[in-house]
Amino acid sequence: MTALPNLPFITEASTAAKRIFETIDCIPQIDSENAEGKVLANVRGQIVFRQVHFSYPSRKDMFILHGFNLLIEAGKTVGLAGASGSGKSTIVSLLERFYDPISGDILLDGHRINELHLKWLRSQIGLVNQQPILFATSIKENILFGKEDATMELVISAAKAANAHEFIKNLPEGYETQVGESGVQLSGGQKQRIAIARALLKDPRIFLLDEATSALDAQSEGIVQVAIDKASLGKTTIVIAHRLTTIHNVEKIVVLQSGRVVESGSHDELMQINNGEGGIYSEMVKAQKSAMTKPPNSPRHHMEERYHKRTTYAHSPMSPFNLSRQNRTALAIHSKVSPTHNSLPSTYSDYHQNNADKLECSSPSHLRLFQMNAPEWKKALLGCAGAVVFGAIQPIHAYFMGAMVSLYFSDDSSKLKSQTRLYCIIYLCLGIISFFASVLQHYNFAIMGERLTKRVREKFLENVLTFEVGWFDHNENTSAAVCAMLSTDANIVRSLVGDRMSLMI
């Protein structure tokens, strides 16, 4: 009887262990810890793509590159242009060996990159993405991720090369300034320059820029572009361009379409092909120029204006930053906010004004949790009935156990045999009843608990998604903390209404 309540835990543990061991036993096709492979004594930086075919594992029947061929001379800068899905970012992923091509070869100075030592290969490549990844630590530590054993002099030198030293020096704590989660305390241009400094710290021979300025405004783009020009001197550089103005001055521009090279040459050459009429690249340049001449009352302008109004609320006295974790969760579940409203809903502000003091001093309502489980009242009745029957088994068992022991003091052997047979039948019936009562109890309370967890998570997430961006700037409201509340705290709530209540009954 006491073993049955533990069966769900054994099942959960077995399921979790299966997933864990599958991950532990998985052998990756590209093993970053593999010590095998060649290390070149000198890297010039010549890159060759030769008849490369590639498709992503999730879409094996959809090829991104079709017989792709490209020669990039050592020390030269090449710009990649093309529509979305043409294969520009895929080239970067293949060079970094995040994936291997299905067929064809990628050569570095005449050597296949899949024959080179993987960590060494990646140490020769500096990558700056469109959205730079910064960690919630200091600027110095973020730059040091490029080369962990570098000295402070090298860090400052890399920052100067990335045109970042001046703004870092003007910060209150300089290189020890905390950037916040994902670099939220810095502007887009500042984050991008720190990412460039991190890439430069390891002094790579190959520099990859994956739309490094496409998410920046015009002023920040100009500053970052100067840093990129300085950083790419003497290095083999591949620039993936969203704004074609960033690659006007490169030695060679390659235009991709459906995974193939359709045009290549300098900016002036591509603008003059087809007897001066231009080709695909020329059409892209003209399209971007016309897009830049949109009037200020365009939809984008109104979106930016609304965004500015919303973010100003983040630091207002009425923003829910100072609530404790418990009360923030209660606020998130209790407040009903319209997710389609563009600015902060007035219902949210009113709720916070009228109930902030109440939330600070009140404890979570158990009655409210039971009300959230109201649709499962039939399950609750069945679960309670099973719990009552299961709880009654033990005193009944104890009573018959005492009665059976008293039989051994009887001198009548026939009575002893008949009574023993009766008690055996009673014990068998108790065992059967106990089994079905336990199943009835735990099955119904498990359904109640899972549905309560689902409702709590839905209500919590529904309201968290309407909170201002500034709410997530605080350490207690990071994405990790919110995920922990969704996964852990919401699951603990079920133990009150489900598991523990059944045991108490």
CATH code (residue 188)? 3.40.50.300
Same domain, 260 and 371: no
What pLDDT sits at residue 429?
A: 92
Q: Determine the straight-line distance between the first and last CA of the chain, rounded to whole angstroms.
A: 16
What pLDDT sits at residue 312?
A: 40
Q: How far is CA 257 from CA 102, 281, 417, in A?
A: 19, 11, 92
Separation CA 178–CA 193 (nearest Å): 16
Q: Does residue 445 contact residue 498 with C-beta atoms inside 8 Å? A: yes
Confidence of residue 315 (pLDDT cuts 50, 70, 90): very low
Same domain, 118 and 203: yes
Whether the pTM exceeds 0.85: the reply is: no
Structure tokens at 306: 């609304």
How do residues 278-290 score in pLDDT, each as one tens digit?
678 888 877 777 7
Q: Which of 232, 259, 291 is the last residue of a domain?
A: 291
| Structural domain includes residue 321 | no
How do residues 88-135 score in pLDDT, each as one tens digit?
888 888 888 888 888 889 998 888 988 888 888 888 888 887 777 888
Percent of the chain with pLDDT over 70: 75
* CB neighbour class for 206 (10 Å; exposed up to 12, middle 13-18, buried from 19): buried
Separation CA 270–CA 278 (nearest Å): 6
Cα 311-317-318 angle, rounded to 5 deg: 80
Separation CA 208–CA 147 (nearest Å): 17
Q: Which of 242, 270, 291 is the last residue of a domain?
A: 291
| Structural domain includes residue 235 | yes
Domain that holds residue 117: 47-291
Q: Which of 256, 272, 291 is the last residue of a domain?
A: 291
Same domain, 138 and 240: yes
Separation CA 291–CA 312 (nearest Å): 29
| Structural domain includes residue 106 | yes
What pLDDT sits at residue 432?
A: 92
Write the CATH number for 469.
1.20.1560.10
Same domain, 268 and 371: no
DSSP state of 69: E
Same domain, 226 and 95: yes
| Structural domain includes residue 358 | no
| Structural domain includes residue 323 | no
The mean-pLDDT minimum among 30-44, 65-79, 312-326 falls in 312-326
Separation CA 379–CA 200 (nearest Å): 63
Domain count, the chain: 2
Separation CA 185–CA 167 (nearest Å): 13
How do residues 240-298 score in pLDDT, each as one tens digit?
877 777 777 788 888 888 888 888 888 888 887 766 666 788 888 777 777 666 555 54
3-state secondary structure of 65: strand
| Structural domain includes residue 79 | yes
> Rg of the chain over CA atoms, in angstroms?
33
